Structure 1
Amino acid sequence: MEHEPGTVLYDPATDRVGEYQDRSGPYAMLRPVGGGREWQADPAGLRPATERERLRAGVRAANARARTDGPFMLGLRRPPRPVEDCPECDGLASRRAKARAAHDYSAETDADVLLRAHLRERHPEA
């Protein structure tokens, strides 16, 4: 059974709930709700997560954010600043903002890494 990206599934082999990302060879790739490190799962064993499992995963993600994203963390991780009038900078900054709004901190970090690389390559003076 093929799943849509973002579908929340239960993996009985790991007793974890994750969002379906894509296929990688014979495996389904799942990411924890709220972001994090992906894992491989046997697609035949996956099933849609129950409402209770979805809720628990959401609470776990919210608690993780509260531990790492509180006011005491401000200033420790400064996101790169896009250069004005650069469409690629604007696109990456927008991607970062959307990921943050969706509480997908893995995708937010990816956007920051891509923006920093772009700044080094295209705007070394910035």
Structure 2
Amino acid sequence: METGALLYDPATNKVGEYQDKSGPYALLRPVGGGREWQADPASLRPATDQERLSAGVRAANARARTDGPFLVAVPPRPVDDCDTCAELAQLRSTARTDHDYSTETDANVLLRKHRSEAHPV
């Protein structure tokens, strides 16, 4: 078996990436990462296209629930006709596009602070 090969484990009813051998067992890791598990190499088989697709969708859905932008309930909105607000909103947008969640969070903090100081309600 090749490292990275997607295999179906009937004992767990899951598809995993082959990592290595550990004694008499094969080590598999969930698609998209996670905790490895041991499987009987004799029972493993290559994953079908449908099983590969399902495992990939499951991994993408898990990422969508845990990635940075989803942790912020409501990002601050820029005030119209304010250059500083527009600049910070653009910084946030660029950071989000680049998956730079640290800079995105910094831009949100700076925009909230600017709004509270320059545009009090």
Q: CA deviation at 1:72?
A: 3.4
State the alpha-carbon separation in 2 of the partners of residues 51 and 70 from structure 1.
30
TM-score by length of 1: 0.56
Out of 37, 42, 45, the residue aligned to residue 43 of structure 2 is 45
Structure 2 residue aligned with 1:64: 62
Deviations 1:9-29 (A, max 9, x none): 000011010000000000000
Runs of 4+ in 1 over 4 A off after TM superposition: none
Structure 2 residue aligned with 1:87: none
1:34 partner amino acid: G
State the alpha-carbon separation in 2 of the partners of residues 43 and 62 from structure 1.
27
Structure 2 residue aligned with 1:112: none
Structure with the larger RCO, 1 or 2 (CA within 8 Å, 6+ apart): 1
Give 1:15-26 correspondences, 5 Å limit.
Answer: 15-26=13-24
State the alpha-carbon separation in 2 of the partners of residues 15 and 23 from structure 1.
20
State the alpha-carbon separation in 1 of the partners of residues 64 and 70 from structure 2.
10
Structure 2 residue aligned with 1:81: none
1:27 partner amino acid: Y
> Does structure 1 residue 33 correspond to structure 2 residue 31?
yes
Q: Secondary structure at the match of 2:26?
A: strand
Structure 2 residue aligned with 1:8: 6
Structure 2 residue aligned with 1:100: none
- In structure 1, stretches of 5+ residues that fail to align are 79-126
* Count of matched residue pairs: 74
> Does structure 1 residue 55 correspond to structure 2 residue 53?
yes
